[in-house]
Amino acid sequence: MKITKIDTFLVSAVWRNFVIVRLETDEGVVGYGEGTMGDFEKTIAAAVNDFAPFLIGREIEINKITNFLNRNFFWRHGPILSTAISAIEQAMWDAVGKSLKKPVYELLGGRSIDRLRVYANGFISGAQEPEKFAEAAVDVVKQGFTALKFDPFGAAGPTISSEDFKAAIKRIEAVRNAVGDNVDIMIEAHGRFNVRTAINIAHAIEEFNPFWLEEPVPEENIISMREVKQASRVPIATGERLTSVGRFWDLLSSNAADIIQPDVCHVGGIRAFSHVAAMADVNNVAVAPHNPNGPIATAASINALSTVPNALILEYWLDAQTVRRSLVKEYFDISDGYLHPSSKPGLGIEVNEEALTKYQYKKMHLEYFSSDYKYYGDTA
């Protein structure tokens, strides 16, 4: 089965644009992949288009093609190139699975677990009052989720004022009191703090029994991450912005994380995700994929994670539901905080092609950690 055409689509979804890759074959099979990053969407699409002429007419041999894309160009890895390669690789897996009438997870050796736990994110934005955090968290639990993640730190970083520190703790306390002890809460820091501040935060939030503290220091500084981990009794999670298997090797060999968060859109695709998970497994580290992306990436993450014996939990975003549900003909079914991998071939989803052009690209940039924080678009 040979590649005959590769197209990219930019789909507007509230505060980012999903980057979707459509791959056609000479057998009439179409595969889909996703390379959403939150910014630089046109740059990622351009990288996919730059790779495309080297792929048209080639037999779909996934390992051979990804090795070629990763090794046969002078510039390697980095967020743009790795994200473009990830999207192409997912689309190849989808096409091969559809051709063989097998789910991708079966092509990877079969499932290690029958269901995946998920945690909610993207359910609150711009709020300051602890009560608003608590109300949003309760609403998530009413939807059936047993775990949720939020960033309580506002615009703070790399240090935090006493006032902002107290405000953050009040938000966490409000959420914990609202949802009770049987719901897991993850605390997000987005890699903003220095080591001393991060350690102080880890110690202060310990009483609320968080499931993890995520990226307390910049993810590129593995030595600093290890220092925080060694000082913290709260599990440390990181890895969403690591864009190669090699960087995860550095992280794991340094014993700098309790939980790793590879993103199937950025790490190099499904096979690279599997390599990273295997390295984590031999180091007794759990895998909890980063996944603020669209439904195609979610499907790819489900297939990859379901084969992993050290799978912990999958991120599941609640924003932009109109766009998300329009992109696929049957959406994911979550029950009691878990979802079950589809038995359908390929990635297990059927893309609604009309939706690829319905939600036109919008130029946007979200200032995550400034006093001018804004949430773009319709949250329906």
Question: Among this protein's residues, is 77 annotated catalytic?
Answer: no
CA–CA–CA angle 195, 204, 211 (5° rounding):
90
3-state secondary structure of 305: helix
- Which residue intervals of the chain are DSSP H helices? 41-51, 62-71, 78-100, 104-107, 130-142, 162-179, 195-205, 222-231, 245-253, 270-282, 295-305, 321-327, 355-358
Residue 210: asked if its preceding bond is cis (omega within 30°), the reply is no
Phi, psi for 149 (deg, rounded to 5): -130, 145
CA–CA–CA angle 321, 323, 328 (5° rounding):
95
Q: How far apart are CA 91 and CA 34, in angstroms?
A: 8
Question: Among this protein's residues, is 340 annotated catalytic?
Answer: no
Q: Which of 52, 22, 63 is nearest to 351 (CA)?
A: 22
Count of helices and strands (H, E) across the chain:
13, 13
Token representation of residue 158:
């790399």
User: Which one from 190, 266, 275, 365 is the annotated catalytic residue?
Assistant: 190
User: Which one from 77, 203, 266, 290 is the annotated catalytic residue?
Assistant: 290
Question: Which residues have a catalytic role annotated?
Answer: 190, 290
